[in-house]
Chain A
Amino acid sequence: MATAPKAKAVREDLLRVEGLTKIYDGAVKAVDNISLTVTTGEIFALLGGSGCGKSTLLRMLAGFETPTQGKIYLAGEDITHLPPYKRPINMMFQSYALFPHLSVWENIAFGLKRDGMPKNDINDRVESLLGLVQLTKLAKRKPHQLSGGQQQRVALARSLAKRPQLLLLDEPLGALDKKLRESTQLELVNIIEEVGVTCVLVTHDQEEAMTMASRIAVMSEGSFMQVGSPDEVYEMPNSRHVADFIGNVNIFDGVVEVDEPDHVTVRCEECVHYVGHGISGNTGMSVSVALRPEKILLSKNKPQGEFNKGKPQGEFNWCEGEVIEIVYFGAHTTYHLKLASGLVIKAQELNSTRDLSCGLTWGDRAYAHWSDLAMVVLTQ
């Protein structure tokens, strides 16, 4: 899933946040006791819905908000109370905030001029940045004469101009349309890699976080729910909330029936799950089983029990239901299956041939089945 290389070898911590808390109006906890470290060269994503506190956290890193409690260290130095214009941190703003009265060139040179850099050096730096983001020809344009994608590249060049130790990206692709976003994601990561700057990025778009970041923190109500690499967060969510937030998921509620070191079974109303690995729980415990739609196979006939590990045929990892909805996406099709219990599960089938081979239609009875390593048992 991730295209960004994972943080290489052992690198020093660049950013360290300790117990950061922001309370608004004496009551609303926007950010609640967050600690994190970001190592040099890493792209760290804060992922969450609106109002989860990710933007407040980013704004505290930039210096636009003063933390109620906690400390922020950059390269070992306490910057908690440093004003934004004294921090070696630059930010790419949501919808860019390019200065409308200045040209592309002047926008990029803005921060360098404030530093009193010699004119020739400014020229060289701006020219090389324009080359990097491929906007050399548009240097004299004003921001409103550029397309969304071009504005985004100017904003990136402007935030990189001062060679910040830490680059903050606030919804970097939020203002672009879907098609452009996909190509820009990779371009953005490539430029960041080329410059070698450490990034903290804020997004509500899980795809953006997955493709760009080497590590993701899933946020909710001011706290981190889970921190991990994109595949960890997707394949091994640690809670229902994370499983639900990242991608689509079917959740079965059940009770642990067999708890062995190498396998467990979970009895649910709909079916019995045979999980091919041990869990940190015990028999009789109430758990949730999360199962991603793309890991479910559909068939018209009763499955042959290939995942049943020598158990009585057909006991584990399948259920029967009625097809109530078919959503065609082109590359895949999502079937909504209504089970006897009333639970509706989603199954995603790859359209690997052009004659939609599954052959299921509305109202059909269908069997869903899945492997013993397809699901995650969630204890919270």
Chain B
Amino acid sequence: MTKILSYLRDLRHGRTVVIGVPYLWFALLIAVPVLIVLKISLSEMETTSISSMISWADGWPTLKLNFSSYLFISGDTLYVQTYLSSIEYALITTIICLAIGYPFAYFMARSPKHLQPMLLMLIMLPFWTSFLLRIYAWKTLLVSNGAINNVLLALGIIHEPLAMMNNSFSLLVGMVYSYLPFMILPLYANLSKLDLRYLEAAADLGTSPFKAFWLITVPLSKAGIIAGSMLVFIPAVGEYVIPELLGGPNTLMIGRVLWDEFFSNNDWPMASSVAVVMILLILLPMALFNKYQSEQAEGKA
């Protein structure tokens, strides 16, 4: 009896350790940094350092919260516009990724079983090269004396170089190119599991293949569409490298503003506030997604 009890105790300890590792990871690498950012955003910038939140006056600790950065953000149209245009670019990226990724994933899921691992490999292949390098490569393709313009000029299709660089076109090309795999993979995972008998049943009941796609395949892949869209949209909102390298003066994105606040203006509380607002903007769709997923899970129980 005591043996069994001590075994159970050991089991419980073991479980604590196993569950503890990811919790520790989350605490150290997510919760603590976010709290630090939150703390900085509520502090005040003194010439070289950040003001302490707790000051000791008359022997009593006084909590000093400084919301001026948040007020400034909400009052300044530039910030509001930048947030809006970040969301707009992220949304457009998501929609284009979905439009390209869905057929892509669909044909991958329908291709012969022995070809599918190879197709998946081809999707993953670009990741073997540094992300930064690939973005630089796009630069050389898109600039006015770049490869694409040169070829088009040589063929006589255009007579002067197309302005494809440092504008919203180059930004979207870079974003769609970088995030497309994140759309394709969850869609492929979802579509390859689709039971083809549903399509047979639809055909049997008088539905043409085209209609069956919209009535059966698309609704049944909703979870994949949502997962892929989230994976593209969320990181796209805060993207910094692509707008920095491929964007232009008119492509406002919040990632660049953040960088400016930190490194040019050296205004850490302001930069932190910008970051906190961005996290909140991203949390909203995340929360919606989770709610949808839990509803789905509930329905299945």
Contacts and interface: CB of A to CB of B under 8 A. Distances in A.
Interface of A: 62-64, 83-86, 89-91, 93, 97-101, 110-111, 114-115, 142, 144-145, 158-159, 161-162
Given A115-B206, A142-B299, A93 B219 contact: no
A97 B200 contact: yes
B181 to A, nearest CB: 27
A93 B197 CA distance: 8
A36 to B, nearest CB: 21
B252 to A, nearest CB: 40
A83 B203 contact: yes
Given A84-B200, A144-B299, A97 B206 contact: no
Nearest to B195: A97
Given A114-B207, A144-B299, A144-B300, A101 B219 contact: yes
B205 interface: yes
Contacts of B205: 85, 90, 110-111, 114, 158, 161-162
A86 B211 CA distance: 14
Contacts of B200: 62, 64, 84, 93, 97
6 contacts: A85-B207, A89-B204, A97-B197, A99-B201, A114-B206, A162-B206
A101 B208 contact: no
B219 A111 contact: no
Contacts, number: 61
Interface string B282-301: 00000000000000000110
A63 B200 CA distance: 10
A350 B136 CA distance: 86
Contact of B220 (A98, A101, A158): A101
Interface in B199-249: 200-208, 211, 216, 219-220, 222
Contacts of A100: 198, 220
B141 to A, nearest CB: 42
Indicate the member of B197, B198, B200, B201 with the most A CB atoms within 10 Å.
B201
A88 to B, nearest CB: 9
| Range, interface on chain B | 10 to 19
B202 A91 contact: no
B201 to A, nearest CB: 4
A119 to B, nearest CB: 17
Contact of B203 (A84, A99, A115, A142): A84
A85 B206 contact: yes
A85 B197 contact: no
Contacts of B216: 99
Nearest to B222: A101
B214 to A, nearest CB: 12
Contacts of A85: 203-208
Nearest to B218: A101
A91 B208 CA distance: 16
A161 B206 CA distance: 12
A161 B205 CA distance: 9
Nearest to B301: A144
A307 B21 CA distance: 83
B299 A111 contact: no
For the complex of A and B, list the 10 residue pairs with the smallest distance between their C-beta atoms, beginning with the closest. Answer: A111-B205, A97-B197, A97-B201, A84-B203, A114-B206, A85-B203, A101-B219, A91-B204, A85-B206, A114-B207
Nearest to B209: A85
A99 B204 CA distance: 13
Nearest to B197: A97
Given A86-B206, A99-B202, A101-B220, 13 more contacts: A62-B200, A63-B204, A85-B207, A85-B208, A89-B204, A90-B204, A93-B200, A93-B204, A97-B195, A100-B220, A101-B219, A114-B205, A114-B207
Contacts of A144: 299-300
Contacts of A142: 299
Given A99-B216, A142-B299, A110 B202 contact: yes
A336 B258 CA distance: 86
Contacts of B203: 63-64, 83-85
A143 B206 CA distance: 21
A98 B195 CA distance: 11
A21 B219 CA distance: 37
Nearest to B200: A64
B220 to A, nearest CB: 6
Contacts of A114: 205-207, 211
Contacts of A93: 197, 200-201, 204
A172 to B, nearest CB: 14
A299 to B, nearest CB: 54
Contacts of B198: 97, 99-100
A98 B216 CA distance: 11
B220 A111 contact: no
Contacts of A99: 198, 201-202, 216
Nearest to A87: B204
A62 B203 CA distance: 10
Contacts of B207: 85, 110-111, 114
Contacts of A90: 204-205
Contacts of A89: 204
A141 to B, nearest CB: 11
Contacts of A63: 203-204
Nearest to A164: B204
Nearest to A161: B205
Nearest to B219: A101
A144 B297 CA distance: 12
Contacts of B222: 101
Interface in B258-276: none
A317 B208 CA distance: 63
Q: Which residue among A83, A85, A100 has the maximum number of chain B CB atoms within 10 Å of its CB?
A: A85
A64 to B, nearest CB: 6
B196 to A, nearest CB: 9
